[in-house]
Amino acid sequence: MKDFDGDVKIKKSTLTATGVKIESIDSNPIEVVAEVRKSNEQEHELVVIFIKNGISMSAESDLAGYTAAKSIVRNFANEMSKEATEDYLKEQNKLVEDLVKDLEGAEKDHEKATKEIQDAKENIEDAKKEMQNLNASNEQLLKDARAERDALMKDAREIKDKMISDAKEEAKEVTSKLIENAQASIEQEKQAALAELKKQVADLSIGIAETVIKKELTSKEEQLKLVEGILKEVTLK
């Protein structure tokens, strides 16, 4: 009704237009009443009444005006249907675009998830290989450590045996040297004692000779007695 002059009032689902000028229907202003009625849960219908001089127009009362009004309503319905269809199509297109975007996003998410899963599998395989390499490396390290330990123990035993052997040889040499030194010292002391004894005996002999010479003895028997007496009195020093 916006394309025609008139006073439009809307109350709920009813539109009332008064003073409407539609030349194809009548040169005088008419009244138009349009009401949207619910036919069922899914469909609605538009009821339009054209009122001319207070009377509803009909094919019997005014065929030409009724035909023009019917054409206007049909064009209006077609236009409304077209607009509704376009709106519906736009809405559906928007839903399709959103769905496509969601699908693209889901596809990207799926690709991303697939890649993450693949990366995770590869990481797991790498971790398994690394663990295997680590175990092999640990086994080799243990083997090398055992070999090094055995070598060190062997060297230690050889060093100990050599030290014991060297100590025994050195002890033998030291013992032999001590024995030689002791024997030499004993021999020296022995020789010194013999020399001292010879000296004392010589001194004693000299003393006896001096005593005998100083005293004149008349007989051999007296001389012997004298020597025995001197020997009793003299002590070796």
Q: Domain ranges in the chain?
A: 7-57
CA distance readout (Å), 14 to 21, 40, 45, 53, 165: 20, 18, 12, 20, 129
Mean pLDDT of the chain: 79
User: Which is higher by pLDDT, 174 or 124?
Assistant: 124
| pLDDT above 50 for 204 | yes
| pLDDT above 80 for 29 | yes
Mean pLDDT of 135-145: 83
| pLDDT above 50 for 237 | no
Listed range (127-141, 191-205, 220-234) with the worst mean pLDDT: 220-234
| pLDDT above 70 for 158 | yes
| pLDDT above 80 for 85 | no
Predicted local distance difference test score (pLDDT) of residue 36? 79
Per the CB < 8 A criterion, the answer to whether 32 and 51 are in contact is yes
User: Which is higher by pLDDT, 41 or 92?
Assistant: 92
| pLDDT above 60 for 81 | yes
| pLDDT above 70 for 209 | no
| pLDDT above 80 for 219 | no
Mean pLDDT of 140-157: 84
| pLDDT above 60 for 1 | no
